[in-house]
């Protein structure tokens, strides 16, 4: 179809040229192509646009030039903006995004817009699509949105008799955000919604925040914990190479409700530690060898499954070091693994080395040592929930577990040196 339209267009041009006419031959005429057929219009029929060389300009039928900004060629436009978070739908830490229902308000002065105001009216509201054809509109967009992350719900333009134009736009936005998850699930996040002109630079358009709590901030009642919530707006200029933009932003400070993670993850891991601890209370007789080993192995596998659940909540890329919940999971995993290893050692001592007394003493001692070590290590983790010095804490806990295990096992073997000393043959 494209080739056919081009062929018909060339035929029409040639037919007109054969009659002594050529497109642009007369500088007082404009050649307007409509569906492949040239139509000639005089200056009184269509506004004629002279090119830089004084010739004619080829335009499209029905196309009107875009309105220019009010202060074109002079000072920069001043656009007042307001960002209201109408509803918050949560954060996706794995994808580094959050979703919100946003109302964007823009206000500027353009006396030319009074031509749209009907006689006797102090204000007049029209749709955004219709206003775009009549007056100049600043193309302010959310710059940190995700790909295909904007869904416009409504848009309207209000013109007042004082020459002010107000644009009100409501949209559902998925915003890109880098999260600081080091203290997860006791973290506090700063969520920013940034806006700027998609076309004009900072020397042509400047943003100014609206000082009105009804138009800027967060709607009351959308967060369960209002004490940990705050909102502030700011305006700044950013320069990246030849890109110079005046940007405005609304920053929300939100605090996570950590009880959901505690109930679903931390409590489950503590219960699995108790199951692992119960291994030391099983009898050391031969029929209980498999239950003791199976209990410790199942507890360890279940703990790994719960730990993977928290890993799915966190971002896979861009994480700066450890996360608090990772350190807690690691402590629980080391405790359960030590239970498994020490249980195998006790079973070996009693069934392979035939040292019933040593095995009984170790089993009784571990019934007391295990909960004490668990309380100290997990309590130490809970004292530093702000996410700072996690690497140092992780090294300290690993060295403590390793040194404590080696010391305890070495002490037991030192008291039972006869196990490894060669026995004298009986006479």
Tell me what pLDDT residue 217 has.
Answer: 94
pLDDT tens digits along 48-74: 333 333 333 334 344 455 678 898 888
pLDDT at 316 over 80: no
Tell me what pLDDT residue 415 has.
Answer: 76
The span from the CA of 210 to the CA of 260, in Å, is: 37
Nearest one of 32, 22, 30 to 56, comparing CA atoms: 30
Rg over alpha carbons for the chain, rounded to the nearest Å, is 37
Tell me what pLDDT residue 73 has.
Answer: 83
The span from the CA of 144 to the CA of 175, in Å, is: 6
More confident residue, 423 or 366: 366
Percent of the chain with pLDDT over 90: 59
Nearest one of 280, 283, 275 to 300, comparing CA atoms: 275
Average pLDDT over residues 357-378: 94
The span from the CA of 80 to the CA of 195, in Å, is: 12
Q: Domains of the chain: which residue ranges?
A: 2-60, 77-255, 259-419
Percent of the chain with pLDDT over 70: 80
Q: Which of 19-23, 157-161, 269-273 has the lowest mean pLDDT?
A: 19-23
pLDDT at 93 over 60: yes
At residue 59, φ and ψ (nearest 5 deg) are: -120, 170
Tell me what pLDDT residue 320 has.
Answer: 57
Tell me what pLDDT residue 89 has.
Answer: 94
How much of the chain is in helix, strand and coil states, percent to nearest 5? 40, 30, 35
Average pLDDT over residues 210-237: 86
Q: How confident is the model at residue 40 (pLDDT cuts 50, 70, 90)?
A: very low
> Is residue 183 classed as helix, strand or coil in its secondary structure?
coil
Q: How confident is the model at residue 413 (pLDDT cuts 50, 70, 90)?
A: confident
Contact at 8 Å (CB) between 210 and 166?
Answer: no
Tell me what pLDDT residue 19 has.
Answer: 43
pLDDT at 79 over 90: yes
Task: Give the max Cα distance, the chain.
Answer: 136
**93-97, 177-181, 246-250, 315-319, range with greatest mean pLDDT:** 246-250
> What value does the mean pLDDT of the chain take?
83
pLDDT at 319 over 80: no
Tell me what pLDDT residue 80 has.
Answer: 97
Tell me what pLDDT residue 48 has.
Answer: 33
216 contacts: CB under 8 Å, gap ≥ 6: 82, 83, 84, 209, 210, 231, 233, 250
More confident residue, 211 or 223: 211
pLDDT tens digits along 99-143: 999 999 999 999 999 988 888 889 999 988 888 888 999 999 999
Q: Which of 57-71, 210-224, 287-301 has the lowest mean pLDDT?
A: 57-71
* Model pTM score: 0.74
The span from the CA of 249 to the CA of 177, in Å, is: 13
Average pLDDT over residues 328-353: 93
Tell me what pLDDT residue 254 has.
Answer: 92
Q: Which of 58-62, 196-200, 385-389 has the lowest mean pLDDT?
A: 58-62
Q: How confident is the model at residue 368 (pLDDT cuts 50, 70, 90)?
A: very high
Contact at 8 Å (CB) between 396 and 381?
Answer: no
More confident residue, 31 or 221: 221
Average pLDDT over residues 219-235: 82
pLDDT at 11 over 70: no
Fold of the domain built from segment(s) 77-255: Acetylcholine Binding Protein; Chain: A, (2.70.170)
More confident residue, 300 or 1: 300
pLDDT at 307 over 80: yes
Fold of the domain built from segment(s) 259-419: Methane Monooxygenase Hydroxylase; Chain G, domain 1 (1.20.58)
CA 268 to chain centre: 28
pLDDT at 44 over 50: no
Q: How confident is the model at residue 206 (pLDDT cuts 50, 70, 90)?
A: very high
């Amino acid at each position: 179809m494209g080739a056919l339209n081009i062929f018909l267009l060339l035929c029409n041009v040639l037919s007109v040229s054969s009659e002594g006419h050529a497109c642009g031959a007369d500088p007082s005429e404009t050649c307007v192509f409509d569906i492949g057929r040239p139509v000639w219009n005089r200056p009184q029929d269509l506004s004629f646009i002279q090119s830089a060389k004084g010739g004619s300009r080829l335009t499209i039928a029905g196309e009107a030039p875009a309105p220019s900004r009010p202060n074109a060629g002079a000072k920069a436009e001043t656009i007042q903006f307001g960002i209201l978070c109408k509803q918050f739908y949560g954060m996706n830490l794995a994808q580094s995004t959050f979703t919100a229902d946003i109302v964007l308000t823009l206000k500027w002065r353009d006396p030319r817009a009074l031509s749209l105001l009907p006689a006797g009216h102090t204000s007049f509201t029209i749709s955004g699509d219709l206003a775009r054809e009549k007056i100049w509109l600043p193309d302010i967009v959310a710059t940190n949105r995700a790909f295909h992350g904007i869904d416009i719900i409504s848009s309207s333009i209000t013109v007042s008799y004082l020459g002010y134009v107000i644009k009100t736009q409501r949209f559902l936005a998925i915003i890109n955000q880098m999260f600081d998850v080091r203290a997860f699930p006791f973290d506090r996040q700063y969520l920013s919604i940034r806006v700027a002109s998609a076309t004009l630079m900072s020397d042509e358009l400047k943003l100014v925040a609206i000082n009105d709590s009804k138009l800027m901030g967060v709607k009351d009642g959308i967060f369960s914990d209002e004490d940990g919530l705050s909102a502030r707006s700011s305006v700044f200029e950013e320069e990246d190479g030849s890109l110079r933009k005046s940007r405005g932003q609304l920053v929300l400070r939100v605090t996570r409700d950590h009880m959901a993670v505690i109930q679903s993850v931390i409590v489950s891991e503590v219960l699995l530690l108790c199951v692992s601890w119960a291994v030391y209370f099983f009898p050391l007789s031969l029929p209980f060898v498999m239950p003791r080993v199976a209990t410790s192995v199942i507890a360890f596998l279940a703990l790994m499954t719960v730990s993977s659940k928290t890993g799915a909540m966190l971002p896979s890329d861009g994480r700066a070091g450890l996360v608090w919940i990772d350190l807690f999971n690691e402590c629980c995993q080391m405790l359960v693994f030590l239970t498994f290893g020490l249980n195998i050692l006790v079973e070996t001592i009693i069934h392979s080395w035939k040292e019933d007394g040593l095995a009984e003493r170790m089993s009784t001692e571990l019934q007391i040592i295990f909960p004490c070590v668990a309380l100290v290590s997990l309590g130490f983790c809970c004292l530093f929930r702000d996410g700072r010095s996690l690497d140092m804490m992780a090294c300290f806990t690993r060295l403590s577990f390793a040194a404590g295990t080696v010391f305890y096992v070495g002490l037991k073997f030192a008291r039972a040196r006869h196990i490894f000393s060669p026995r004298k043959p009986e006479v």
